[in-house]
Amino acid sequence: MAFHGSKCCRFIVGRHYDVKALSTQRVKLFVPSSTPKLLRWYSSATQEENELELVSLANSSAAVPATKIGTTQELAVPVGQRQRLNEEVLPFSAFLTDNFGRQHSYLRISLTEKCNLRCQYCMPEEGVKLTPRAQLLSTSEVLTVAQLFVREGVEKIRLTGGEPLIRPDVLDIITELRKLEGLKTIAVTTNGMNLVRLLPKLKEAGLDLLNISLDTLVPAKFEFIVRRKGFHKVMEGIDKAIEMGYNPVKVNCVVMRGLNEDELLDFVALTEKKPLEVRFIEYMPFDGNKWNFKKMVSYQEMLDRIRQQWPSLEQLPLGKTDTAKTFKVPGFQGQVGFITSMSDQFCGSCNRLRITADGNLKVCLFGNTEVSLRDVLRSGASDQKLLDIIGAAVGRKKKQHADRLKCRMGPRI
């Protein structure tokens, strides 16, 4: 039976094959050319029909000596039959590996849809219709989902919103996340309004990284962009984070033509004396932000403008899964980065999955498809059932997002 090479085999059926031939990135099942047909393929989009099903497990369990191997086939194995391999063979979960070999070790969890700001690029002035509280993930549900993903290989969790620091149990969540074996990094993306008050307790709870959103260094413009007061609170929060040893403190700046692109150089200048990483984000289309292509300032345009002021600006090495292209002015404490979602997408190295506040799994920020984990959790389903659903969703992740798709929530999801 012929299979397309893009289908990724995710675990071994049986234990009698030559494991030395297995790649740590993609597992190949070696099958003699005379082996009976073992699998049938369902092509429709439901969970059950998106699986490959073993038709004759008894036949497949027979030992196949390595010396008699004839042809090789790269097979996609049934979601319901996947298992984690011994670390020496496959050190990453099959459920979190997609058909393009991308291993998703980074999970973003939205703790709330609420926000105490109304940023123009994120949501309309009147806000968004909120999901009823009973339909949001509870504290225990957030931790159950997190534990499951960490057990399967997630090493970094970022808490987002809305504004995550307005959720009353955020400290409890971070404290419990810190106890998860295998979780290396806990991060938060915040607007900084409550940061000064909460930061000591956040650090004590185990918070490792901070991203603070700030789109202007002009107080009056800040109020115009976010439709609220609070510029000085955010600046105090940034200084407090530096004081408490966070290095670098990442500052997210969405650049919009006619609004704040004239402040690029001022933001870069901030990195001279402070250990900041200012990340310039290309203006992206989200529901309610009335996106217009003319408002977008491309990465290349921003870079050219900065290089006119600092010709010695040098690019730093890019990590395998980095989303930001980072640069540094020699002699400056900090650095700058560019999130190029619109002009130079980085889908090929994406290792991110997202859980919305109401418990839906999104495998792509720009994708329209969501799968409810909340409903499965509340039905009393087993971890295996949850993993099957997660694995099926990850398996359907596309090679790259379409240009100018809209996300259901703002950019902090």
The predicted-structure confidence for 75-91, as pLDDT tens digits, reads as follows 344 444 444 433 334 46
For residue 155, is pLDDT > 60?
yes
Question: Quick one: pLDDT at residue 117?
Answer: 82
Phi first, then psi, for residue 396 (nearest 5°) are: -90, 0
* CA proximity to 257, closest of 300, 302, 206, 200: 302
Q: Is the CB of residue 295 less than 8 Å from the CB of residue 257?
A: yes
* Residue 50, helix vs strand vs coil: helix
Of 328 and 285, which is predicted with more confidence? 328
Among 44-58, 122-136, 183-197, 359-373, name the one with the lowest average pLDDT. 44-58
Question: Quick one: pLDDT at residue 61?
Answer: 34
The DSSP code for 317 is: P
Gap between the Cα atoms of 55 and 49, Å rounded: 14
Question: Quick one: pLDDT at residue 214?
Answer: 96
How many residues are given for the chain? 413
Question: Quick one: pLDDT at residue 75?
Answer: 35
Q: Got the DSSP string for 160-211?
A: ESS-GGGSTTHHHHHHHHTTSTT--EEEEEE-STTHHHHHHHHHHHT--EEE
Strand-pairing partners, residue 355, are: 109, 361
Percent of the chain with pLDDT over 70: 73
Cis peptide before 248 (omega within 30 of 0): yes
Cα–Cα distance list, 386 to 186, 299, 377, 389 (Å) = 23, 39, 8, 5
Gap between the Cα atoms of 232 and 225, Å rounded: 15
Give 174-201 pLDDT, tens digit per residue. Answer: 999 999 999 999 999 999 999 999 999 9
Neighbours of 403 (CB within 10 A): 11
Please compute, for residue 67, the number of CA atoms within 13 A of its CA located in the half-sphere on the CB side. Answer: 0
Give 292's pLDDT tier (boundaries 50, 70, 90): low
The DSSP code for 84 is: P
Q: In what order do the strands lie in the sheet with 371-372?
A: 314-315, 324-328, 335-339, 276-282, 249-255, 209-213, 185-190, 156-160, 106-110, 352-355, 360-362, 371-372
Of 104 and 283, which is predicted with more confidence? 104
Q: Is the CB of residue 36 less than 8 Å from the CB of residue 84?
A: no
For residue 63, is pLDDT > 90?
no
CB contact burial 35-51 (16+ within 10 A = b; e otherwise): beebbeeeeeeebeebb
Give 349-359 pLDDT, tens digit per residue. Answer: 899 999 999 99
Give 357-382 pLDDT, tens digit per residue. Answer: 999 999 998 788 899 999 999 999 99
Q: List Cβ neighbours of 58 (8 Å cut-off, separation of 6 or more).
A: none
Among 20-34, 121-135, 141-155, name the one with the lowest average pLDDT. 20-34
Maximum alpha-carbon separation in the chain: 75
Q: Would you give the end-to-end CA distance of the chain in angstroms?
A: 42
Give 307-333 pLDDT, tens digit per residue. Answer: 999 999 999 999 888 889 999 999 999
Average pLDDT over residues 45-55: 33
Question: Quick one: pLDDT at residue 286?
Answer: 53
For residue 334, is pLDDT > 60?
yes
Average pLDDT over residues 324-344: 94
Percent of the chain with pLDDT over 90: 61
Predicted model pTM = 0.76
